[in-house]
Structure 1
Amino acid sequence: MPPKTTRPRRVLFAAVAAAALGMLGLGAAPAAAQEWRGWNIHAADYPNGIGMDAFTRIVGERTNNRIRMRTFHSAQLGQQDEAIQQMRLGTIDFANFNLSPFNNLAPTTNVVTLPFLFRNVAHMQAAIDGPAGEAIAADLEKIGIIALSWYDAGARSIYTTRPVRTPADLRGMKIRVQTSDLWIDLMRNLGANPTPLPFGEVFTSLQSGVIDGAENNWPSYESTRHFEVARFYSTTEHSNVPEVLAVSAQRWGRLSPADRTILREAAQESARIQRAAWAERERVSRERVVAAGVTVIEITDRSPWAALMEPVYAKYASEARLAALVRQIREMP
């Protein structure tokens, strides 16, 4: 006859096993999926859209879709100034931003906006992946934006309705610029008459003679068909402002260290994809406008142009911290 304690022990063991299984079940349950909204001003097939879609895909794969991201391309969630505010409030979770609109919010962004700062694309990428990026990321974090990686946005050059080979050729010409004090001062110091206009008005303004030229990168010049009314492209490459892929600090604060690592690595991989796509897009755009009969004026010596920018540097990078960063970037090999 079995001992009297056998049945109670069996009941106890069964209860413990059931509780353990219940705890295992709770531990194995998938965490609730997070739905993230992303902002992008460009179309989905633009290099930046390609990079952002790669970012969202990689994050989804590596989190088993615990973090599900959707990018709203073509400024569906508003223009950039609106999107910046939404990200700071936490209603947009991630975005790709141009750095120029941050000039008044994050002082170090003024440095990479300065004209003729970078020698070439490789120099810009080394700076933004190094000291410049670190300084800007620290400033952005103070306003609620976490920088994860840096995208290319191309070198901007001047295109006009008549040839421009030297700064003297710009005298008296009305050149469209962004609505920015720095850009107005840049063009004024080159001898031109800076004319702030919305980007969407550039084509008709060139066509009607309201302006004599504008400035932008190869893909923008080609995709907007500005080359049809401004047939001379001078490779001044006066500006090469990178862009940031970032997330809201509010979202970032709720992530585990492991998920933060996943996002940073995914963002850096997406930057490599975006940069390669950008280089290819530039090549194709240049070939298209040349085939359409545009005259490309190669500016091989930019020192006479850069020499005219001393007042701009004095005005926008005289503060000790900014001046030190400018020196550091210029001294990079």
Structure 2
Amino acid sequence: MQFNKSEGWPDPPPFPEETSMTRTPRRGLLAAVAAAAIGVMGAVAPAAAQEWRGWNIHAADYPNGIGMDAFTRLVAERTNNRIRMRTFHSAQLGQQDEAIQQMRLGTIDFANFNLSPFNNLAPSTNVVTLPFLFRNVAHMQAAIDGPAGEQIARDLEGIGIIALAWYDAGARSLYTTRPVRVPADLRGMKIRVQTSDLWIDLMRALGANPTPLPFGEVFTSLQSGVIDGAENNWPSYESTRHFEVARFYSTTEHSNVPEVLAVSAQRWRRLNEQERTILRDAARESAAIQRRSWAERETVSRQRVTAAGVTVIEITDRTPWSALMEPVYAKYAADARLAALVAQIRAMP
């Protein structure tokens, strides 16, 4: 390899005129100098910076956006900007179903997803989306940070998505254009659901007409009468201003589905072990930030919609609701592996 002056290295020192006495040592020294130069060049050459694109359906100031921005900041700091991430908030890169496909193809590098749209792709995600499974938030977090999360992560990896950490998404309840106090009140009502067979069957079990729609179409569909209601958590209900067109919120708290912070398996395979450790640690730290922010935002959102005149219908006895879910469990947790996971989660203290 020729000594390259264009790299900014100084010329080697001059040697005396070659003689039979100096020929061999000179050539050996030249080789040594060249080898040392190459070694130094390799040692100081920085790894090429990686530019990552991230997807988030929520606004940047939403708890999930706050968590994701913390994640990208921590990764940049700990890799000395070798991995530079940019999150495209507010579904700038498409709706969730589209983003999942882009993640699997590797055109989106990281994202925060709700687990419900994976129900038809990763069987174990059905378990944590089963209605009335979790007693409270602490129960859900213990399950997803433990056995449930481990099993879901394995299933997601099988479809090209690497789970790093789990975010809170709050208890989901019904909000409608007319009051709903008991399951019978839902008969004939068109309720928006996510694109998932489980959610469709859940609403059918309650007597409603499930209507799968992208999240971004819910407001106009409520406004125009295409649907009579939807279901979601307090921050989503408030931040999207759905409360302006669906004035009744029934605290069914039928679901408490966690969300995943994940990276594309295609991008993951190109990382070394040190980089993977950095990403996992940063993701877990971001989850702690997101969960704190979520709890705070949930309280504020409820106060805001209540102040705006929304009628909150408190469902204190959920037994009549959960009793209707037996067909859903029979269909989505009949597999021995999933049934065992359900039993394990229910038995947790």
Fold-level similarity (TM above 0.5) = yes
1:115 alignment partner, SS class? coil
Per-residue displacement from partner, 1:236-263 (whole Å, max 9, x unpaired)? 1101111111111111111111111000
Q: How does 1:93-172 map to 2 (within 5 A)?
A: 93-172=109-188
C-alpha distance 93-200 of structure 1, shift in aligned 2 (>3 A): closer
Aligned length: 330
The code of the aligned residue for 2:340 comes to: A
C-alpha distance 211-12 of structure 1, shift in aligned 2 (>3 A): closer
Offset at 1:153?
Answer: 1.4
C-alpha distance 293-15 of structure 1, shift in aligned 2 (>3 A): same
Match of residue 106, structure 2, among 90, 93, 108: 90
The code of the aligned residue for 1:270 comes to: S
Q: Aligned partners of 1:256 and 1:183: how far apart in 2?
A: 39
The code of the aligned residue for 1:243 comes to: E
Q: How does 1:212-223 map to 2 (within 5 A)?
A: 212-223=228-239
Please say which of residues 104-113 and 164-173 is displaced more in the overlay.
164-173
The code of the aligned residue for 1:101 comes to: P
In the alignment, structure 2 segments of 5+ residues that lack a partner are 1-20
Q: TM-score by structure 2 length?
A: 0.87
Offset at 1:10?
Answer: 9.2
Per-residue displacement from partner, 1:218-238 (whole Å, max 9, x unpaired)? 112112322233322111110
Q: Which has the larger radius of gyration?
A: 2
Q: Aligned partners of 1:206 and 1:88: how far apart in 2?
A: 32
1:77 match: 93
| Mapped pair 1:252 → 2:262 | no
Per-residue displacement from partner, 1:70-109 (whole Å, max 9, x unpaired)? 1122222222222222222222211111111111111111
Match of residue 261, structure 1, among 273, 277, 287: 277
Q: Aligned partners of 2:160 and 2:214: how far apart in 1?
A: 28
Q: Aligned partners of 1:7 and 1:208: how far apart in 2?
A: 91
**Alpha carbon RMSD of aligned pairs, Å?**
2.4
2:84 match: 68
2:310 match: 294
Please say which of residues 7-16 and 264-273 is displaced more in the overlay.
7-16
Q: TM-score by structure 1 length?
A: 0.90
Offset at 1:283?
Answer: 1.1
